[in-house]
Chains A and B, each alone.
Chain A
Amino acid sequence: MRFIFIVMLFFLAGCEQQQAVVPAEGDAAKPIHGDTFIEASIGEPSNLLPVLSSDSASSDINQLVYNGLIRYDKNLQLEGELAESWEISEDNLSFTFHLRKDVTWHDGAPFTSADVLFTYQMYINPEVPTSYAEAFLQVSKAEAVDAYTFRVTYEKPYAPALESWGTPIHPKHLLEGQDITKSPLSRAPIGTGSFKFVKWDAGEKIELIANPDYFEGQPYIHRVVYRVIPDTSTQFLELRSGGLDLMGLTPIQYETQTDTPAFKRKFNKYRYLSFSYTYLGYNLAKPLFQDLRVRQAISYAINKQELIDGVLLGLGSIATGPYKPDTWVYNANVKRYEYNPEMSRSLLAKAGWVDSDGDGILDKDGKKLAFTIITNQGNDLRSKTAEIIQRRLKEVGIIVEIRIVEWATFLKEFIFPGNFDATILGWSGGPEPDQYNIWHSSKTAPRELNFTRYKNKEVDALLEKGRRTFPQAERKQIYDRFQEILAEEQPYTFLYVGEALPAVAKRFRGIEPSPAGIKHNFIKWYVPKSEQKYTR
C-alpha cells in the first residue's frame, strides 16, 4: 500500500497542471511570437503528399505546409497565393500566372514555374493514383513561359478550372523521376507554406513549426500540434482539461455542455455557416416522384425550422437550394416552401391522392401513399431528421418507413443502382458554384452523382453555360436561374445548412470570424507573452 502511495505522489509531481490564464479585457498587447497551438483530428492523416490524399486530416495539415497558386480570401473571393497575379485571355481559354519571386521551399531551394509544371504533370500522370486529376485533364497545353510565369490553355473555356490552381504545388526537385507513392515526402513533407513539418509519431501526433522564411511573414504561433484522438467524447474531455486548443463542437455541446462559467473562462465559441447542406432527395425514376405536385406537397409538409430546432438545436439555416446563404451566388428570391399542411393536402388531392377509405392514409387506385426514406448509418442528425419528417408526413396522410444502412452497402446496393424511394444525404461544396456533376442529365450513370436521375434541359444548358462563363456578374445570372428552377421543381427538398461551431482557447488573439471561417488568418493569431502556455 505504501508503495502505491509513493508512486501516486510521483505522478502528481510529474505532471504540471497548466492553469488557463484569464485574459484581461481590452488587452492591447502587440502580437508576439511563441506558444503552441494544439488541435485534434479524428483519424490519422493518410498521406502528406496532397496529390495522394483525400481525407480531411491530411488536408488540414497540407494546408499549412503547402501553398497553391491562388486561394480564397476571407470573403471567399479568389486571390493570389504563390501567384502574385493572373490574367485570363480574351477568349477565356488560357490563364497566365505571374509567380512570386520571393518563395523558397522548406529545404531552401527556390520555387519556380518548373514546380508548377511538374505538379500539373504529376496530377495527370496515369501512374499516380490520385482522385483529383479531372480538372487537370481538361488542360490542352501547360507551359513554363519563364522561371516566374506559368501559362495553361484549355480546349474549351472552363471556369471551375481556375479554382483547381489552388491545388498545392509540389516540389519538383524532390519528386521528379521517382515513384511518388514511395516518396519519403509522404511522411515528411516539404512545401512552401507557413509551417514546416517537424515530426510524426504514428497514431499519436504530428508536429509543425513556424516557417521563419514564409513569404507572408513568420507566423506568430511557434508550433502547431495535431493529435490523433479518434473519439469525439475524448476530444471534448481533452479540450476541457486543456489538452486541446481548438475543437469543432456539436450543437448539443455548443448549446448546453459548454454553457458553464468554467468553460467560458477558458474558451471563446464561434459559429458560422458551413459549406454543406442536408436534403431529402427523391428517386425521380419512380412514378410516384415524377409528379411535381407530390414533391412540392412533401416540401410543404416538412417544417424545416422544426428540423433545425430539433436536430441542430437552432444552430443552422433553412436551405433553399444548393448554395450557402451568405455567398455571392446564393439567390434568396426563389420559391420557398413554408410549412403548410393544407397546401400539401390540396396538392396531393390534385395529384389524385385522397383518403377514400377513411383510414387516415391517402390512396389512389387502391394503392396507399407510402415510401421509404433511406439514409446511412452513423449519422445521428440524418436519422433524427428522418424521424421528424416521418411524423410530419404522417399528418398529411403519407406513410414513411425509415431504413438505415451501413455506408458501403448503402451506396452499392441502394443509391447507385437506383434502388431507393427517397434518401436523406448531404453535399459539401465550396465557393465555386459549378454543380455540373450533381445536376446535369449526363451524370446519371451508376456511380455518378446525379443518382436521383434529375433531367431538365434548361438546367443542363445553364450548367454548361456556367462552366464556360468567367465574369461573376454573368455567372450570377446563370446560377440564379438555376436555383429558381430547382426551387420550383423540388428534385430535392432542401432541408438545412448546418453551422461550424469551433471553440478556441481564449489565449489566442487576432481571430477574425468571416464567411470563410476562422482559420483564414491563422498566421496572424498570437498569444500575449504573459499568457503563453508552452515555452518550447
Chain B
Amino acid sequence: MLVYLTKRLLMMIPLLIGITLISFMVIHLAPGEPTDMQTDLNPKASVEMRDRLRERYNLDKPLYVQYGLWMQQLATLDFGESFAQDHRPVLDKISERMPITILINVLSITVILAVAVPIGILSAVRRNSLFDRATTIFVFLGFAMPSFWLALLLMDYFGVRLGIFPVAGLKSMGYDYMSSGRQFLDMAHHLVLPVFVSAFGGLAGFSRYMRSNMLEVIRQDYILTARAKGLSERVVIYKHALRNALLPLITILGLSVPGLIGGSVIFETIFAIPGMGKLFYDGVMMRDYPLIMGILVIGAVLTLVGNLLADISYAMADPRIREG
C-alpha cells in the first residue's frame, strides 16, 4: 500500500508540470494583455506608459523566460503578485474567497445527497411508479432550468414581492453589530436561496446515478438469495442492496473534490457572492496571468488528490478491489 501511494504521489509531479505548461501556453495565446485593460483607448495613457507597465510585469520577455520565472516562484510555493491593479499576492486573493465557495459547495452537496439518494433508491425500488415518474420530471426540470433564470425568479418573488429572503449578498447591513448567534442566522438566511438554486440543478445527476446503481444491484443473484432466505424486503433493500449501490458514489464524490473550490460565475454574479468562479472569470477577462495560473494549479492538485482519495477509499470500502 505504501509503495503504491508513493508511486501515485510521485507520478503527480510530471503530470502537474505538464498541466502548468499547457495552461500557461494556452492563456498566453489569447489576445490582449493585462496592461491593455488599463491603457487601451484611454486618452490619458500614452504608448510609453504602456511599455513601462509591460516591462514591470516582464511581459516584454519571451514566453519561455516568463514561464521559467513563474516556475521558479512556484517552486517556493509562491504564487506571485496579481497583475490586477491591487497588486496583492495571488494566495491572499484566493484564500479570502475560498471559504465561502467551499461552504456553499459543501452545503449544496449535502443537500443534494440528502435528497438525491432517497429519491434514487425509492424510484429504483418502485420503478415506473407514479413517484418514479414525478421525481424524474422534477429532477430533470432542475437540471434543464437555467440557474440564473430560476435565481432571478426566486429573488423577485421571495426577495422583492414577499420580502422573506434577502435578494443578494451574504450579510445584512447591520451584520457587524449583531451577536454571533444572530450573525450565524443572518448568514444562513442569506444562503437559503443560493444553496437551493445550486442544489436544485445537481439533483438529476446524483439521483439518476443512484437509481441505476440500485436497479443493477437488485438484479444480482445475492439479492435473490437474500429474498429466498425469507428476509424482509426492508432488510434486503437497505442492508444488502444499498451498501453495494452506494459504492460508486465514492468515486463521484472523489471527483467532485476539485469542484468544491470551483464556483459558478453566473451563479455567483447573480447572488453577489464573492466566490472563486467570479475571481477566476475576472482574472481571465483581465488576463491576470499569475492569478489564473494560481487557481489552475490549485485546481489541478485537488483533482489529482481527489482521484487518489477516491481510489483509496474505494479500496477500503470494497474488499473485492482491495484483494483483487
Which residues of A come within 8 Å of B, CB atoms?
A: 10-12, 14-15, 17, 36, 38, 43-44, 46-47, 52-55, 58, 126, 129-135, 181-182, 186-187, 201-205, 225, 227-231, 233-234, 237-238, 240-241, 243, 407-409, 411-413, 427, 437-438, 445, 447-449, 534, 536
Contacts and interface: CB of A to CB of B under 8 A. Distances in A.
Contacts of B27: none
Interface stretch (B109-117, B159-167, B226-234): B159-167
28 contacts: A12-B164, A14-B189, A15-B186, A15-B189, A36-B173, A43-B282, A47-B86, A54-B85, A129-B87, A131-B44, A131-B50, A132-B45, A201-B171, A204-B169, A227-B169, A228-B272, A233-B152, A234-B269, A237-B155, A237-B156, A237-B159, A243-B169, A408-B32, A411-B36, A447-B39, A447-B47, A449-B41, A534-B173
B324 interface: no
A409 B163 contact: no
Contact of B269 (A126, A135, A230, A534): A230
A124 to B, nearest CB: 11
A511 B269 CA distance: 31
B49 A131 contact: yes
B270 A234 contact: yes
B174 interface: yes
A228 B87 contact: no
A11 B191 CA distance: 11
Contacts of A54: 38, 42, 45, 85
Contact of A204 (B41, B155, B170): B170
Given A14-B182, A14-B189, A412-B31, A131 B272 contact: no
Contacts of A438: 43
B53 A409 contact: no
Nearest to A181: B87
A138 B311 CA distance: 66
A55 B188 CA distance: 33
Contacts of B56: 129
A341 B215 CA distance: 72
A204 B156 CA distance: 21
B192 interface: yes
B39 A131 contact: yes
Contact of B272 (A186, A231, A408): A231
Contacts of B279: 203
A253 B192 CA distance: 28
A440 to B, nearest CB: 12
A241 B160 contact: yes
Contacts of B174: 534, 536
Interface of B: 30-32, 36, 38-47, 49-50, 52-53, 56, 81, 84-88, 96-97, 152, 155-156, 159-160, 163-174, 177, 182, 185-186, 188-189, 192, 268-275, 278-279, 282, 287
Contact of A52 (B49, B87, B169, B170): B87
Given A237-B156, A447-B47, A408 B168 contact: no
Contacts of A231: 269-270, 272
Contact of A230 (B32, B155, B188, B272): B272
B85 A55 contact: yes
Contacts of B160: 237, 240-241
A448 B39 CA distance: 10
B31 A204 contact: no
Given A131-B44, A132-B44, A241-B160, A52 B32 contact: no
Given A15-B172, A134-B44, 20 more contacts: A11-B188, A14-B186, A15-B189, A43-B282, A46-B86, A47-B85, A52-B85, A52-B86, A129-B56, A202-B96, A203-B274, A204-B169, A228-B274, A229-B168, A233-B270, A234-B168, A234-B269, A234-B270, A237-B168, A536-B174
A153 to B, nearest CB: 21
Contact of A238 (B168, B177, B182): B168
Contact of B152 (A55, A237, A427, A449): A237
Nearest to A533: B173
A191 to B, nearest CB: 17
A135 B166 contact: no
Among A204, A230, A233, A409, the most chain B Cβ lie within 10 Å of the Cβ of A230
A413 B44 contact: no
A418 to B, nearest CB: 15
A219 to B, nearest CB: 18
Contact of B167 (A55, A234, A427, A536): A234
Contacts of A201: 171
A132, A447, A449, A534: which has the most chain B beta carbons within 10 Å?
A447
B160 to A, nearest CB: 5
Sort A-B residue pairs by CB-CB distance and give the 9 closest, nearest first. Answer: A203-B274, A408-B32, A46-B85, A131-B45, A181-B87, A229-B272, A412-B31, A230-B269, A47-B85
Contacts of B192: 11
A58 B87 CA distance: 14
A14 B191 CA distance: 14
A11 B42 contact: no
B17 to A, nearest CB: 28
Given A14-B189, A54-B42, A241 B159 contact: yes
B56 to A, nearest CB: 5
Contacts of A409: 31-32
Nearest to B271: A234
Contacts of A17: 163
Nearest to B177: A536
A229 B269 CA distance: 7
Nearest to B170: A204
Given A14-B189, A240-B160, A129 B167 contact: no
Nearest to B171: A204
A408 B41 contact: no
Given A15-B189, A17-B163, A181-B87, A129 B274 contact: no
A411 B40 contact: yes
Contacts of B52: 126, 129
A21 to B, nearest CB: 16
Given A129-B56, A203-B97, A408-B31, A225 B173 contact: yes
Nearest to A230: B269
Given A11-B192, A231-B270, A234-B271, A135 B172 contact: no
A138 B270 CA distance: 45
Interface centre among A15, A227, A449, A534 (most CB of B within 10 A): A15
A413 B31 CA distance: 8
B185 A11 contact: yes
